[in-house]
Structure 1
Amino acid sequence: MNIVTSTEIDRGKLNGLHKRIFDSDNIVEKFRFKPEIVATMAWDGEELIGYKLGYAQNESSFYSWLGGVHPERRKEGIGEQLLLAQHRELKKRGFTYVETKTMNRWRAMLLLNIRSGFCITGTHTNESGDVMIMLRKRL
């Protein structure tokens, strides 16, 4: 497995994996509503098996927006490796904080974030009525 962080993204492979993980709409379409996306991607040869997407909120804070691991590759530690690689890269780029949001239904992600040093900073209800758990970590 090879982990790479870049703003150069194979949008076709990313969109295919995203649909497989979340069974939802085209993630690439949402890029146009975000600042420049930075992707930390896990590759097994030519196959994209996991990703974490995010963007700078300001010069010191990065928002880790979305991520996932191929359903057949879960429980291999790929998500944790992606998170750690993303945080190393953010620190190199001069960020002080990383923030994220999750929902209770994504319990594995919530627990990984807490184990990795994130603190819960609050909650809010999104437009769909889901309770979002906000987290922040000093890098």
Structure 2
Amino acid sequence: MDFTFRFLPDIVPAQSKLLTTLLAAALETDEVELLADLRYQQQRQPVQAWLVEHAGQVVGGELGYERKPGHYYSWLGGVLPAFRGQGLAAELLRRQHAWGRAQGYRAVRTHTYNHWRGMLLLNLRHGFDIMGTTQSARGLTIVLEKDLTAAE
């Protein structure tokens, strides 16, 4: 299969619906809530997106934003179930982290949940360390961080 990767340095409102539809399907979560969360983040700072497309259809994406100076937050990501197992999520992560390094970020942080086991394992395989857990309304949140200054 042929895939095309694309970077959006700042998601514009017209792209928000497309991205939240994709991520809601990939994450099996509520699209309305994702759209509200995305709009909230967009009011605070630019949100970047890395997308993967097949035959003109967006089949995966990874969103992130600056958490604080020198630190990036890998926020939402996923690949549609029919396209999993082909290394697309790993490539999106690799591209996000390479961009982060080039922008001068020293670390990238992400949160996940135990029920998204695939994402947890992907992050661990790509250099993230578990920093701790927090209790949230959605359950136990696993906090992970990766040092972007370390050699890969």
Alignment TM-score > 0.5, same fold:
yes
- Please tell me whether the aligned partners of residues 36 and 55 of structure 1 are also in contact (alpha carbons under 8 angstroms): yes
After TM superposition, give the deviation of residue 20 of structure 1 in Å: 1.8
Matched, 1:18 2:60: no
Match of 1:31 in 2: 38
RMSD of equivalent CA atoms: 1.4
Provide the TM-score with structure 1 as the length reference: 0.91
Q: Deviations over 1:93-124 (max 9, x none)?
A: 11110000111111111111111000000001
Runs ≥4 in structure 1, deviation > 4 angstroms? none
2: CA distance between counterparts of 1:127 and 1:16?
22
2: CA distance between counterparts of 1:87 and 1:62?
9
- Please tell me whether the aligned partners of residues 18 and 24 of structure 1 are also in contact (alpha carbons under 8 angstroms): no
- 1:102/1:23 CA distance change after superposition, 3 Å: closer
Q: What SS class does the counterpart of residue 94 from structure 1 fall into?
A: coil
1: CA distance between counterparts of 2:54 and 2:93?
17
Match of 1:2 in 2: 4
Provide the TM-score with structure 2 as the length reference: 0.84
2: CA distance between counterparts of 1:117 and 1:4?
23
Unaligned runs of 5+ in 2: none
- Please tell me whether the aligned partners of residues 11 and 28 of structure 1 are also in contact (alpha carbons under 8 angstroms): yes
Taking only the aligned residue pairs, the percentage that are identical comes to: 32
Unaligned runs of 5+ in 1: none
1:62-77 alignment to 2 at 5 Å? 62-77=72-87
Match of 2:141 in 1: 132
Match of 2:95 among 81, 85, 95: 85
1: CA distance between counterparts of 2:67 and 2:18?
26
Q: What SS class does the counterpart of residue 92 from structure 2 fall into?
A: helix
- Please tell me whether the aligned partners of residues 72 and 105 of structure 2 are also in contact (alpha carbons under 8 angstroms): yes
Q: Deviations over 1:44-75 (max 9, x none)?
A: 24210101111101220001111110111011
State how many pairs are aligned.
Answer: 138
Q: What SS class does the counterpart of residue 105 from structure 1 fall into?
A: coil
1: CA distance between counterparts of 2:20 and 2:133?
28
2: CA distance between counterparts of 1:123 and 1:20?
26
